[in-house]
Chain A
Amino acid sequence: TQLLEQSPQFLSIQEGENLTVYCNSSSVFSSLQWYRQEPGEGPVLLVTVVTGGEVKKLKRLTFQFGDARKDSSLHITAAQPGDTGLYLCAGLGGSNYKLTFGKGTLLTVNP
């Protein structure tokens, strides 16, 4: 069974601060996705990383896939209240190509 561990589980910061969220596994994934979920809504895909060592930027968000394709990180620069939400990582892999989700990091950015 492939598992994804996300840390921290909860994060409360002030507007303007930087933060990093981690997603770790002992398994290798073909690709890894990051989603953001807001209350009352389903998750929305932010990015997919495929190649080991890959770095993708989406405005103030920087995503990195580990060299061994077992871990990933999400870094947010100068966080804003609009960044508040549940951040989920999800790995695609295994013989049956199921998408395995981490339990998420609940981020609160206070104005």
Chain B
Amino acid sequence: QITLKESGPTLVKPTQTLTLTCTFSGFSLSTSGVGVGWIRQPPGKALEWLALIYWDDDKRYSPSLKSRLTITKDTSKNQVVLTMTNMDPVDTATYYCAHSPAYSFDAFDIWGQGTMVTVSS
């Protein structure tokens, strides 16, 4: 059974750097074709894809946020970490991590419960 769980601060100040950790179980990020992505959702708004890292360390970023994002993986710890610099109140959102299966590299079949991050001074 695949599970993912996001962790990190619930409140960050403007200009600070946000670090979120996705801890997963039930799969290995060293398995060919597998990936883990980050998606966020501001309150009452649509999903926005942020970043994706694959088993071979291939990394993809949202073009509009690329300069602020870094995604890394620690296969031994079953974790994926997303950092986002220069946080702004518009970055207030629920942040999800999700599993991208080998059978469909652009789909997310299992999602974490999400973690709400508020950006405020």
Pair from one complex: no
Q: Which residues of B are in contact with A by a Cβ distance under 8 Å?
A: none
Q: Which residues of A are in contact with B by a Cβ distance under 8 Å?
A: none
